[in-house]
C-alpha cells in the first residue's frame, strides 16, 4: 500500500514538517467547532502522529486510526507522555470495523486529500457517526466548479505522489452521504486549505 509506505518514510520527520507549515491554529479551531463535551466519543481518522490530541477535551473518549503503524506508534507515545488514554488501531478509513452510530464526532484532518477513494472514507465516517453527530474537516480542496490551472495540475503530479492530491472537490465527496455542510470557509494559504464542519441530521 503506497500510503503506508510513504508515511512510514515521513513518520520520523512528520511533526517537524507539519509544524513548519503552521497548522496548529487551524487544527485547534476546527476541533473547537465540534463543541465536544465530557463523555462523548470521537474518532480521529488518519490520526498520524497525534497532532490533534492536545485540542480534544480530556473528558472525551478518543479512538484513533491510521494505515501506517509507524505513525500510530508515535501517536501512542505522545498520548502516554500526556497521560492520555487513546484506543489506537491500524485500519483503512474506507473499511472501518466499527458499528453504525458508534461516535459523536469524527475528525478528518489532512486525510481526504491523501486516501484513495476519499468518497468511501467519508461515507464510512458518516456511517459510524451518530445522528446529530458532527464531522470536522481541514484539508485542501478546489471549489466544486473550479478547474485547476495547468500549473496546479503540474504541481499535483508531484504533491499527489509525495504527499496528497491538491485538486479534489468537497461536493462530490459529500454527495450521497446524507451529511449536511454547516461550515465551509477558507483556512490557510488563500483558501487552498478549507475548514469544514459537517453534521448528520437527526431522524425526522
Residue 5 has pLDDT above 70, yes or no: no
Answer whether 43's CB lies under 8 Å from 106's CB: yes
Answer whether 63's CB lies under 8 Å from 42's CB: yes
pLDDT of residue 156: 85
Question: Domain residues of the chain, as ranges?
Answer: 2-199
Residue 155 has pLDDT above 90, yes or no: no
CATH of domain 2-199: 3.40.50.150
The chain-wide mean pLDDT, for the chain, equals 91
Answer whether 195's CB lies under 8 Å from 138's CB: yes
Sign of the alpha-carbon torsion through 39, 41, 47, 52: negative
Alpha helices in 14-84 (DSSP H): 14-21, 24-32, 69-81
Answer whether 106's CB lies under 8 Å from 131's CB: no
Backbone angles phi and psi of 162, in degrees to 5: -85, -40
Question: What separation in angstroms does the CA of 157 have from each of 79, 117, 143, 153, 164?
Answer: 35, 17, 19, 7, 10
Grid cell in block for residue 102: 458508534
Q: pLDDT band at residue 158, thresholds of 50, 70 and 90?
A: confident
Q: Tens digit of pLDDT for each residue in 84-114? A: 999 999 999 999 999 999 999 999 999 999 9
CA dihedral 148, 17, 116, 176 (to 10 degrees): -70
Q: Provide the whole-model pTM.
A: 0.91
pLDDT of residue 162: 76
Please state, in angstroms and rounded to a whole number, the distance separating the CA atoms of residues 204 and 201. 9
pLDDT (mean) for 153-177? 88
Answer whether 56's CB lies under 8 Å from 30's CB: no
Please state, in angstroms and rounded to a whole number, the distance separating the CA atoms of residues 199 and 197. 7
Q: Are strands 41-45 and 61-66 parallel, antiparallel or unpaired?
A: parallel
Residue 20 has pLDDT above 70, yes or no: no
Residue 161: which H helix or E strand, with range?
helix 150-162
Q: Tens digit of pLDDT for each residue in 40-92? A: 999 999 999 999 999 999 999 999 999 999 999 999 999 999 999 999 999 99
Through-space distance between the first and last CA atoms of the chain, rounded to whole angstroms: 41
Amino acid at each position: 500500500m503506497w500510503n503506508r509506505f510513504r508515511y512510514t518514510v515521513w513518520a520520523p520527520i512528520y511533526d517537524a514538517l507539519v509544524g513548519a507549515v503552521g497548522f496548529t491554529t487551524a487544527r485547534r479551531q476546527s476541533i473547537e467547532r465540534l463543541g465536544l463535551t465530557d463523555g462523548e466519543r470521537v474518532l480521529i481518522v488518519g490520526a498520524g502522529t497525534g497532532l490533534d490530541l492536545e485540542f480534544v477535551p480530556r473528558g472525551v473518549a478518543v479512538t484513533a486510526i491510521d494505515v501506517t503503524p509507524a505513525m500510530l506508534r508515535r501517536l501512542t507515545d505522545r498520548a502516554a507522555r500526556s497521560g492520555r488514554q487513546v484506543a489506537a488501531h491500524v485500519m483503512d478509513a474506507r473499511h472501518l470495523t466499527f458499528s453504525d452510530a458508534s461516535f459523536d464526532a469524527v475528525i478528518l484532518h489532512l486525510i481526504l486529500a491523501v486516501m484513495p477513494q476519499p468518497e468511501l472514507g467519508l461515507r464510512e465516517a458518516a456511517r459510524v457517526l451518530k445522528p446529530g453527530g458532527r464531522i470536522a474537516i481541514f484539508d485542501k480542496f478546489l471549489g466544486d466548479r473550479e478547474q485547476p490551472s495547468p500549473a496546479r495540475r503540474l504541481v499535483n503530479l508531484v504533491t499527489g505522489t509525495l504527499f496528497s492530491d491538491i485538486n479534489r472537490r468537497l461536493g462530490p465527496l459529500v454527495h450521497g452521504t446524507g451529511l449536511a455542510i454547516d461550515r465551509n470557509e477558507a483556512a490557510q494559504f488563500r483558501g487552498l486549505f478549507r475548514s469544514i464542519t459537517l453534521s448528520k441530521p437527526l431522524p425526522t
